[in-house]
Amino acid sequence: MGVKKRKSYNIDMCNGSIGKKMLLFAVPLMLSGILQLLFNAADIIVVGNFAGDKSLAAVGATSSVINLLTNLFIGLSVGANVLVANYIGANEEDDLKKTVHTAMSISIISGIILTVVGIIFAPFILSLMQTPDEVTGLATVYLRAYFLGMTAVMVYNFGAGILRAIGDTRRPLIYLTIAGVVNVLLNLVFVIVFHLDVLGVGLATTLSQVVSAVLTVRCLMKENSGIKLILKELAVDKSKLIRMVQIGLPAGFQGMLFSLANTFIQSSVNSFGTTVIAGNSASANIEGFAFTAMNSFHQASLSFTGQNVGARKEERLNKILLTAIGYVLAVGVFFAFIYNVFGTTLLGLYTKSPDVIEAGMNRLVIIATSYAICGMMDVVVGSLRGMGYSVVPMLVSVLGICALRLVWLATVFKMPQYHTPEMIYYTYPVSWTVTLIAHLISFAVVRISIRKKWKIT
């Protein structure tokens, strides 16, 4: 019975219809991300309505810091995902087991490192970001409370990545739902009943993350396949770690650079004051639903490509990419319509301030209309990483996203006539378009390289 139940969660990514199976993979993952954002939105809505705009701005001002500090290690989980998918496709059971135990060991180590760094350096990092004095204290409190749960965040991300590699996106959805309900309930208790303000939101988030991590570990321990987790066998296999780093470190470094560029963007936004910060924060949270929905197809392209590379089914790689691009285009157009028509109403859930709502719409209209470009860009990156090429998309993204945004802020944005929040937001669609074109060229080159390599071997 145990084996049958396990198989019911898996998806055969190497045979049969790609479109249908990609939907089966992506929809639970999409729902997981959207649920997570709903729970995060509940954090911000509770803070905005029961603690005020300063608290809302304080929570919003920390998002880029959190991403900056966590993306390097989250990138390693991408490396674990690709390795697990490769070994499943190639039916290499022993290598699969070693990869799983190495990945979970690294998740614990990285979580501890992040907790220490986040708690100690929170005030220093926020000051570098030109966070306004009136929200710095609250932002520091929230950041420290959030980073208490970093080990749980890492364990969940690495564990969920392993489950995604076998095609299981349903159980992480269930665990995230449970943790999210816990998060919302604790938010209401800590903020409304005990008046803990941003500290309550941070603690609620941390405790809910512990719940999701425990459930994920329990799931892996009950598995009857090569991804079964045995706690006493937790160890770092050097060869698997090196391969994980080769794939994951460029992805993590790319994420860090993205976050660094976005930190400069956040600093530029911060220079316009609390109202613009709060509007930017609320809009970014709303936009996250579109990004998360499209990101599920990025994950799908990575896992599907990874397994097919392991099985050496070269003829399916182009179909996987084109299918994923078709899906993100549809999702992007849908959310662009929703945000343009109902944006003001959605922002009204976060704050009652007309000025904050107007500031939020100024961002939402610009970015929502072009988000499909971002989705296509990420899907191509997923395919490249699934093929084991992580350095190429990193280099392309560093130039196309990070460097271009920094140059934009240092030149166009500095011109008096363009020194507006809107001109900051235009950096997103411009950089997405340039980088998408470069990634497509890279994909074509890598495909030719793989075809030649497999024919030789």
The pair phi, psi for residue 282, each rounded to 5°, is -65, -45
Q: Residues 300-315: pLDDT tens digits? A: 998 899 889 888 888 8
Query: What does pTM read for this prediction?
Result: 0.76
Residue 14 burial (CB count, 10 A)? 17
User: pLDDT at position 1, please?
Assistant: 33
User: pLDDT at position 397, please?
Assistant: 85
Measured CA to CA, the distance from residue 19 to residue 27 in angstroms comes to 12
**Which range of residues forms the domain containing residue 107?**
14-452
Q: Which residues contact 337 (CB under 8 A, 6 or more apart)?
A: none
User: pLDDT at position 14, please?
Assistant: 86
Among 10, 65, 80, 108, residue whose Cα is nearest residue 385: 80
Does some domain include residue 213? Answer: yes
Q: Residues 46-85: pLDDT tens digits? A: 777 777 777 877 777 777 677 767 777 777 888 888 899 8
Q: Higher-confidence residue: 97 or 4?
A: 97
Crossing angle (nearest 10°) for helices 354-369 and 427-456: 30
User: pLDDT at position 366, please?
Assistant: 92
Q: Is the pLDDT of residue 228 over 70?
A: yes
The stretch 319-342 carries a mean pLDDT of 93
Does some domain include residue 5? Answer: no
How would you write 384-441 as a 3-class SS string? HHHCCCCHHHHHHHHHHHHHHHHHHHHCCCCCHHHCCHHHHHCHHHHHHHHHHHHHHH
Token reading at 65: 């810091």
Measured CA to CA, the distance from residue 409 to residue 398 in angstroms comes to 15
Q: Is the pLDDT of residue 239 over 90?
A: yes
Q: Residues 29-53: pLDDT tens digits? A: 888 877 777 766 677 777 777 777 7
> Which of 30-34, 133-137, 260-264 is predicted with the least confidence, judged by mean pLDDT?
260-264
CA 210 to chain centre: 18
Q: Residues 16-26: pLDDT tens digits? A: 889 999 998 88
Residue 178: pLDDT band with limits 50, 70, 90: very high
Does some domain include residue 8? Answer: no
Domain count, the chain: 1
User: pLDDT at position 70, please?
Assistant: 78
User: pLDDT at position 3, please?
Assistant: 34
Contact 54/274 with Cβ under 8 angstroms?
yes
- In the predicted model, what is the mean pLDDT of the chain? 87
C-alpha neighbours within 13 Å on the C-beta side of residue 322: 7
Contact 205/60 with Cβ under 8 angstroms?
no
Q: Higher-confidence residue: 355 or 350?
A: 355
Q: Residues 359-405: pLDDT tens digits? A: 999 999 998 889 899 999 999 999 998 888 888 888 898 888 888 98
Token reading at 63: 């998002």
Measured CA to CA, the distance from residue 273 to residue 271 in angstroms comes to 6
Contact 168/24 with Cβ under 8 angstroms?
no
User: pLDDT at position 8, please?
Assistant: 55
User: pLDDT at position 7, please?
Assistant: 47
Does some domain include residue 252? Answer: yes
Q: Higher-confidence residue: 326 or 40?
A: 326
The stretch 166-178 carries a mean pLDDT of 88
Token reading at 323: 């299918």
Q: Is the pLDDT of residue 97 over 50?
A: yes
- Residue indicated by tokens 């890598």: 446
Does some domain include residue 4? Answer: no
Does some domain include residue 28? Answer: yes
Residue 2: pLDDT band with limits 50, 70, 90: very low
Q: Residues 411-441: pLDDT tens digits? A: 998 898 888 988 999 999 999 999 999 999 9
Does some domain include residue 32? Answer: yes
Does some domain include residue 6? Answer: no
